[in-house]
Amino acid sequence: MTFLIPLIPLLPLAGFAITGLLGREMGKQSHKVAVWAVVASWLVAMLVAFGALSHTLGFDAAGAGIKLWDWIPATGFHADMGFFVDPLTACLLIVVTTIGMLVHIYSIGYMAHDEGKWRFFAYLNLFMFSMLMLILADNFLLVFAGWELVGLCSYLLIGFWFPRRSAAEAAKKAFLVNRVGDMGFALGIMAIWTQLGTLNMQAVFAKFAGVPHEWQIAIALLILCGAIGKSAQFPLHVWLPDAMEGPTPVSALIHAATMVNAGVYLIARCNPIFGTVPEVMVIVAAIGIFTAIMAASIAFTQTDIKRVLAYSTLSQLGYMFASLGVGAWTAAIFHLMSHGFFKGLLFLGSGSVIHAVDGEQDMRKMGGLARKIPITYVTMLIGSVAIAGVPPLAGFFSKDEILGGAFKNGFLWVWAIGFVVAGMTAFYMFRLMGMTFWGQSRVDPEKEHPTHESPPTMTRPLILLAIPAIFLGLLIGFPPESGLLHQWLAPVFEATITASGRTEAAYSFFGIDGVLAIGTTALVAVAIVMAWRLFGVNMPALGLHAEPRPDRVRELSERQGLAELYRGSSHKWWFDDLNNLLFVVWGGKLAAAVFWFDRTVIDGTVNGIGTVTTGAGMRLRQVQTGRVQNYALGIALGLIAMAVGYILIAVR
Amino acid sequence: MNLPILSLITFTPLVGALAVAALPSRYPHLIRRTALAFSLLAWVMSLVLLAAYAFGPTGFQFVEAHNWIPTFGIRYKVGIDGLSILMVVLTTTLSWISILASFGPIKDRVKGYMISFLVLEVGMIGVFLALDLFLFYIYWEIVLVPMYLIIGIWGGSNRIYATMKFVLYTLVGSLLMLVAILATAFAYQVGHGGSWVGAFDFQLLQQFAASGQFGDAFQNLAFLALFLAFAIKVPMFPFHTWLPDAHTEAPTAGSVILAGVLLKLGAYGLIRFAVPLYPHAAHTFAGPIIVLSVIAIVYGAIVSIVQPDLKRLIAYSSVSHMGFVTLGIFVFSATALQGAILQMISHGLITGGLFLLVGVIYERTHDRTIAKMGGLAATMPVWATVFGFFILASAGLPGLSGFVGEFLVFVGSFGISPLIAVATIIVMVLAATYLLWMFQRVAFGTMSDFLKGLGGHLTDMTGTEAVTLLPLGFLIVVLGLFPSLVLDLLRAPAQAFLAAAGVAVGG
Amino acid sequence: MSNSLDSYLVLSGLLFAIGTFGFLARRNAISMLMSIELMINAVNLTVLAFGAFVAPLRVHAAVIALLVIAVAAAEATVGLAIVIAIFRNKKTPLVDEYDSMRD
């Protein structure tokens, strides 16, 4: 059934082409082709994923691929256009196509009144194509192609409302920061080719042990560079919060559930490469866990509902990186999948909230929305509980596996920070819930009246996403460390884990694992209660009620010692200002200086030669008086000189 | 088949020029259509040639040779290999596109313009076909004259300065080239006991060079002279300053041809003549040339960021992109060379398209200042979409032709020395910076007051304008997805080049 | 000395020098034309003197001298015509006013 694989990306591509070319004429129906293309792609992807995970339909444990054509057959370089599906790809396929499909459906309602709806769906389809190509590619160059194309789609979609200056700026920033990472990735691909003479991933992994160690480190670091850019890890994290300028479905699909996972996927995919360089793995873990705590600390103080979620995404991606870094590969993919679903849910929910209050994104102007938009409220509550890590929802299992992996693989510092971040996550999520749904309404009186629940095309995807947010963990992650997902992914990671010598002891709830899980859960509970007490709660069904206490919040934020932290957090630790100074101000000055050099020195030399020549000509033309007699005098003098010369020579 | 197809292709535009000359100038429409018809005819013939060309074997095909000035062994000798046929097809394609694109903008002296353009096409095709150094030189100079007229007569306000700079710069180079050619022929004649037979014949000269009979000191001098001529045309840093001026002042079609074909003449000369004839010198100077290329790539990109004028920006980006070509040539790697040639073609397509698109805007606003634009995506959505496509192609988006060329150059250079690639890779970010920033300022945001003042004049692209861009966009996509179409043609020339340069062909 | 080649050459040298001086020093275009005639005739005298004293040159000298006379006549005609044309334009016979060649 491998011949079905190309259909998965090609269907959205066809949808893009049709919608892009004819969408304008289709008017209100312009979403039809795009949505059906993605639904069809989802069906095929499910079939393929089923085959790859159950090792039927022509797939075996190592996966199966299909080569379409020789893409770049140069002398001394070769890259194919080919796809490859193994269990890891299959997991990603499930996440990408499912969330992609739901976001498409959701967008029908969300974008219904936008003039550029057809454009939006065309871009979304192009994104699906690119993302699917990225995960299906069988060689690094094709991954890179998908890598760049998703960056492009992200650019187009962030800048979708292009008349808004901030949107255009954010789009450019996202693309450029991504490109910084891509530089590293591109160099990594070149290094792989030079060292191994192939870019096919399976071939590279098979031969990688033979590469000199310094090159192994270089290649791993360069690939990491790309992954950091795409997954918005420190120090290239600055683009993701700004990317929230795009329409909310885009934030859900690209900047939460799929594209930003590409970096995690790439490192997981390259586990045979990273497995050979433990020193780089430590860097991965450090970057990940640092990003996790830094982003969580910023999420504490943001007031834009989407930005809170964006920093939360950064933080969760940091978890995944940390998980990869400590060698808990499966846990990273597990978290990737569960995070994809509940963060997609949260973003779509926030979109529904924004839709309800007529475009307002500031949580200080929300509050008390629970009664007005009940479906959105309930689904978002499920998402928040899931991400906070309350058992038995999806986030609990995946986060628990990450922390457990870090602890048991000897990365105590990663575990310690991750433990703290788990509490922080619960706190800021319930801060968000409190400010948005509970307490008194602070909505603008003019917008108060029309506040209404979103149409079914928007709420149904929320309900559909809430289901995996609740059950995914139980379904594929239970029992812990030997659930379905572990069985699926064992062929992908087994060799690397065995080689690293970190074969974990079996999970024992009545041993260290249980202690860790209970400890984390206790911290999460405390954090949630703290959030309730500060920002309010109102769940009559559970008999919970607390009014928000803004005065207490203000007092805390001004207290000695906390005030500095508060300031740093609300200024996002000044990363944007630093980048602005470094690249916009100084970079601009450098460019201006180089241009000055070009005009004055280089072009100046050229024009200088011209000026000297014309100047000399102007001087010399003074000799030409225009008077015949002067010329004749010259002739006569010349004759005399010749005669004298002749005589002198003749005499000698 | 003994049809002299190469000569037919070369002189079809000349016949066209004569035909146009015979038409009375009061029928500008007829003149335009006649010119277009002949350029299309040349294009079709070049496609036929491409179809008839035998892939695979090394060496030249369809060779025609006739005595011309037998006293000095000068012959009319033309022939093609995989490299030159690609360049000829590129030339004929861009020629008819340029002529079509001139239908609207050129309203004065249409007759003279069309004649100039057709003669220009003769010269350009001739350069790529000539296998006799003297003939090559003649065609090289023929190119100069019509371009001089096109910029000088139909150009912008500062056109005289620009043309003088362009002509003087190029003339300095071509005179040095003439000296080098004569010296080479003379050395050959001396080496053959005073017989001039074959002294200008490229193939014989190359055999002579391959047997190592040009002395090292002579090679260095001759190579430098030839290199300077070609480097000015490419243009390489630091001989590039004529380019922004010429581009800014030239009419749209002039810019298209200038960027699309004229810059390629220099690169073609380096690949065809400078390196194979003086391999030892080429190796001697390869290091400095690589450094200059790397500087050009990064420098051109940095300077592009701060350009206030659309055309100037694209001109500086050309300096950056053409840096890849010279880099690819002088690292002496088959991969990089193929990448360089692919880059030549895709730069011709992409930059040609960009100039056409700027022309569309100029036609409506009579301005190219970036700061005065804004919000065009709302007013001219089709134009903005196409412009965005070419911008992305220029930024090296995978799946489009620019990426393949640049990446092959990167990989080839990385294999020679990772340092080169590391020093150059920053251009990935810089190119995206200047292109996207420009695009953002032109297309995004709200409409500027300047544009609002134009009111109804700001219409979207017309059908003719779309027709000129369609083939370019199509080729960019096709070459991005199936670069083998070009790479297969280049395998033999790349091997021949490396063999002539005395480098073992890898992989 | 009276009947030697040298005396003829000295004479014609003197005549040529006078002509040259006249051409360089006089400002009147007509006088300059006359000076040119003087120089031509000085040369002609040299030619004839050589013809008279060097036997193998006798025939050639006569032919050359005749040719020179003819050319001188033509030159005088054309020159005078030009001078008069210029005079009509510039309203002056003085050559230092004629400097339009400068531009």
pLDDT of residue C98 exceeding 80, the answer is no
Residue A623 vs residues A397, A618, A620: alpha-carbon distances, Å: 97, 10, 6
pLDDT confidence of residue A530? 85
Contact C101 A626 (CB under 8 A): yes
Q: In this predicted complex, what is the ipTM?
A: 0.88
- DSSP letters for B286-302: HHHHHHHHHHHHHHHHH
> For A629-644, what is the mean pLDDT?
88
Using a CB–CB cutoff of 8 Å, tell me whether A633 touches chain C.
Answer: yes
Contact B397 A602 (CB under 8 A): no
Q: A-contacting residues of B 453-482, CB under 8 Å?
A: 481-482
pLDDT confidence of residue A75? 84
Would you kindly state where each structural domain of chain B is located, as residue ranges?
Answer: 278-507
Query: Tens digits of per-residue pLDDT, A179-236?
Result: 888 999 999 999 999 998 888 888 898 888 888 989 999 999 999 999 998 888 888 8
Query: Residue C95 is part of a domain; what is its CATH number?
Result: 1.10.287.3510
pLDDT confidence of residue A506? 66
Q: What token pair was written down for A132?
A: 């699917």
- For residue B381, the distance in angstroms to the closest alpha carbon of chain A comes to 11
If 0-12 CB within 10 Å is exposed, 13-18 middle and 19+ buried, where does residue B397 land? buried
Q: What token pair was written down for B445?
A: 């945001």
Using a CB–CB cutoff of 8 Å, tell me whether C79 touches chain A.
Answer: no
> For A292-321, what is the mean pLDDT?
89
Chain-centre distance for alpha carbon B363? 24
pLDDT of residue C1 exceeding 60, the answer is no
Q: Which of A624, A625, A629 sits opposite C24 (nearest CB)?
A: A629
Helix (H) or strand (E) holding B87, with range, is helix B82-101
Using a CB–CB cutoff of 8 Å, tell me whether B339 touches chain A.
Answer: yes
User: In this predicted structure, which of A21-25, A374-378, A423-427, A635-639 has the lowest mean pLDDT?
Assistant: A21-25
Closest CA to B139 of B130, B148, B131: B130
Using a CB–CB cutoff of 8 Å, tell me whether A627 touches chain C.
Answer: yes
> For A16-31, what is the mean pLDDT?
83
- Helix (H, G, I), strand (E, B), or coil: what is residue A622? helix
pLDDT confidence of residue A142? 92
Q: What percent of chain A has pLDDT over 90?
A: 15
HSE on the CB side for B260, CA within 13 Å? 31
pLDDT confidence of residue B507? 36
> For A567-573, what is the mean pLDDT?
78
Contact B408 A592 (CB under 8 A): no
> For A500-510, what is the mean pLDDT?
68
Which has more pLDDT, A163 or B467?
A: B467
pLDDT confidence of residue B363? 85
Closest CA to B269 of B257, B278, B280: B278
DSSP secondary structure code for residue C28 in this structure: B
C-alpha A565/C-alpha C38 separation (Å) is 110
pLDDT of residue C78 exceeding 90, the answer is yes
pLDDT of residue A594 exceeding 80, the answer is yes
> For A468-480, what is the mean pLDDT?
81
Closest CA to B92 of B61, B124, B119, B116: B124
pLDDT confidence of residue A145? 92
> For A521-547, what is the mean pLDDT?
83
HSE on the CB side for A456, CA within 13 Å? 0
> For A323-329, what is the mean pLDDT?
88
Q: Which of A625, A626, A633 sits opposite C24 (nearest CB)?
A: A633
C-alpha A512/C-alpha A518 separation (Å) is 10
Interface test with A, best of B240, B241, B342 (most A CBs within 10 A): B241
Closest CA to A300 of A417, A428, A426, A425: A428
Chain-centre distance for alpha carbon B12? 21
- For residue C56, the distance in angstroms to the closest alpha carbon of chain A comes to 26
Beta bridge partners of B76: B66
Contact B505 A75 (CB under 8 A): yes
Contact B487 A145 (CB under 8 A): no
Domains in chain C, number: 1
pLDDT confidence of residue B89? 93
Q: How would residue A500 be classed by pLDDT, with cut points 50, 70 and 90? A: confident
Q: Please report, in angstroms and rounded to a whole number, the separation of the first and last CA atoms in chain A.
A: 106
C-alpha B146/C-alpha B152 separation (Å) is 10
pLDDT confidence of residue A167? 85
Query: Tens digits of per-residue pLDDT, A196-211?
Result: 888 888 889 888 888 8
Which sign does the torsion angle of CA B147, B148, B149, B154 carry? positive
pLDDT confidence of residue A447? 65
DSSP secondary structure code for residue B369 in this structure: B
- For residue A604, the distance in angstroms to the closest alpha carbon of chain C comes to 30
Are A596 and B303 in contact, with CB atoms under 8 Å apart? no
CA nearest to C19 within chain A: A636
Q: How would residue A242 be classed by pLDDT, with cut points 50, 70 and 90? A: confident
C-alpha B320/C-alpha B431 separation (Å) is 9
pLDDT in tens, chain B (507 residues): 468 889 999 999 999 999 999 988 888 889 999 999 999 999 999 999 998 888 777 788 888 888 888 888 899 999 998 899 999 999 999 999 999 998 888 888 889 999 999 999 999 999 999 999 999 999 999 999 999 999 988 988 888 888 988 888 888 889 999 999 999 998 888 888 888 888 898 888 888 888 888 888 888 999 999 999 999 998 888 888 889 989 989 999 999 999 999 999 999 999 999 998 998 888 889 999 999 999 999 999 988 988 889 999 999 999 999 999 999 999 998 899 999 999 999 999 999 999 999 998 888 888 888 888 888 888 888 888 899 999 999 998 888 998 999 999 999 998 888 899 888 998 888 898 899 889 888 888 788 888 777 777 778 888 888 899 999 999 999 999 999 888 888 888 888 888 888 764 443
HSE on the CB side for A173, CA within 13 Å? 24
Residue reference for tokens 């500087």: B295
Residue reference for tokens 């001086």: C21
Using a CB–CB cutoff of 8 Å, tell me whether B410 touches chain A.
Answer: yes
What is the per-residue burial (b if ≥16 Cβ within 10 Å, else e) of A61-88? eebbbbeeebbbbbbbbbbbbbbbbbbb
Q: What token pair was written down for B151?
A: 């910029």
Contact B421 A187 (CB under 8 A): yes
Q: How would residue A482 be classed by pLDDT, with cut points 50, 70 and 90? A: confident
> For A391-396, what is the mean pLDDT?
82
- DSSP letters for A440-487: S----HHHHTT--PPPHHHHHHHHHHHHHHHHHHHHHH-STTSSHHHH
C-alpha C25/C-alpha C85 separation (Å) is 22
Residues of chain A neighbouring C96 (CB-CB closer than 8 A): 627, 629
Q: Which of B238, B334, B392 sits opposite A76 (nearest CB)?
A: B334
- For residue C85, the distance in angstroms to the closest alpha carbon of chain A comes to 16
Contact C23 A629 (CB under 8 A): yes
The crossing angle, in degrees rounded to 10, of helices B334-365 and B401-416 is 140
pLDDT of residue C99 exceeding 80, the answer is no
pLDDT confidence of residue B505? 44
Q: What is the domain range of residue C10?
A: 5-102
C-alpha B239/C-alpha B245 separation (Å) is 13
pLDDT confidence of residue A443? 76
> For C21-45, what is the mean pLDDT?
90
Do chains B and C meet with 3 or more Cβ pairs nearer than 8 Å? no
Give me Rg for the CA atoms of chain B: 22
pLDDT confidence of residue C102? 66
Q: Which of B375, B398, B421 sits opposite A149 (nearest CB)?
A: B398
What is the per-residue burial (b if ≥16 Cβ within 10 Å, else e) of A302-322? bebbbbbbbbbbbbbbbbbbb
Using a CB–CB cutoff of 8 Å, tell me whether A620 touches chain C.
Answer: no
Most confident of A27-41, A526-540, C9-23: C9-23
- Average pLDDT value for chain A: 85
Contact A625 C98 (CB under 8 A): no
Contact A627 C98 (CB under 8 A): yes
- DSSP letters for B93-130: HHHHHHHHHTTTT--SSHHHHHHHHHHHHHHHHHHHHB
Interface test with B, best of A10, A24, A77, A597 (most B CBs within 10 A): A77
DSSP secondary structure code for residue A254 in this structure: I
